[in-house]
Chains A and B, each alone.
Chain A
Amino acid sequence: MNTVSDNVHIEKVLSGDKEAFRYLIKAYQSMAYSIAISMVKNEFSANDVVQNSFIRAYKALRSYRSDAKFSTWLYKIVVNESLKLLKKNKRSQEFITYMDDPFDYSTSFNQAIKSFELKDKKTQINKIMNLMKPKEALILKLYYLHEESIAQIEKITGFTTSNIKVLLHRARKSFLALSIKHNTY
Chain B
Amino acid sequence: MNKTDQNIQNLLVESYKKQPVDSQIEDQIMETISTQKNYGLLLKKARQKAKIGLLVSLILLVIYFVKIYTDLTTPIRYKEPELRAFYPSIFTVIVVCAIYFEMIFGAKLLKK
State which of A16, A18, A26, A37 has its C-beta within 8 Å of the C-beta of B26: A26
The verdict on A14 contacting B16 (CB below 8 Å), with A22-B26, A55-B32 known, is no
Assess the B30–A22 pair: CB atoms within 8 A. Answer: yes
Residues of chain B contacted by A18 (CB below 8 angstroms):
30, 33-34, 38
Question: Contacts A25-B29, A29-B25, A122-B15; is A14 near B40 (CB within 8 Å)?
Answer: yes
Query: CB of A161 within 8 A of chain B?
Result: no
Nearest A residue to B40 via CB reads: A62
Q: How large is the interface on B (under 10, 10 to 19, 20 to 34, 35 or more residues)?
A: 20 to 34
Q: Which of A80-88, A108-116, A152-160 interfaces with chain B? A: A108-116
User: Shortest distance in angstroms between A133's beta carbon and chain B's nearest beta carbon?
Assistant: 17
In angstroms, Cα B7 to Cα A172, docked, is 11
Which residues on the B side are within 8 Å of A145 (C-beta)?
A: 9, 12-13, 16
Q: Is A21 within 8 A of B16, CB to CB?
A: no
Residues of B contacting A61 in the complex (Cβ-Cβ under 8 angstroms)? 40
Q: Does B5 contact A (CB under 8 A)?
A: yes
**A110 CB → nearest B CB, Å:** 6
B74 at the interface (CB under 8 A from A): no
Interface string of A5-27 (1 = CB under 8 A from B): 00000000011101101100110
Beta-carbon nearest neighbor of B24 in chain A = A47
- Complex alpha-carbon distance, A110 and B10, angstroms: 12
B14 touches A121 (CB 8 A): yes
**Subset of 13 A-B contacts with CB under 8 Å:** A14-B41, A18-B30, A19-B30, A25-B25, A33-B19, A37-B19, A47-B25, A51-B29, A106-B4, A110-B7, A140-B12, A144-B9, A144-B13
Interface residues of A (CB under 8 A from B): 14-16, 18-19, 21-22, 25-26, 29-31, 33-34, 37, 43, 47, 50-51, 54-55, 58-59, 61-62, 106, 109-110, 113, 116, 121-122, 124-126, 140-141, 144-145, 147, 172, 175-176
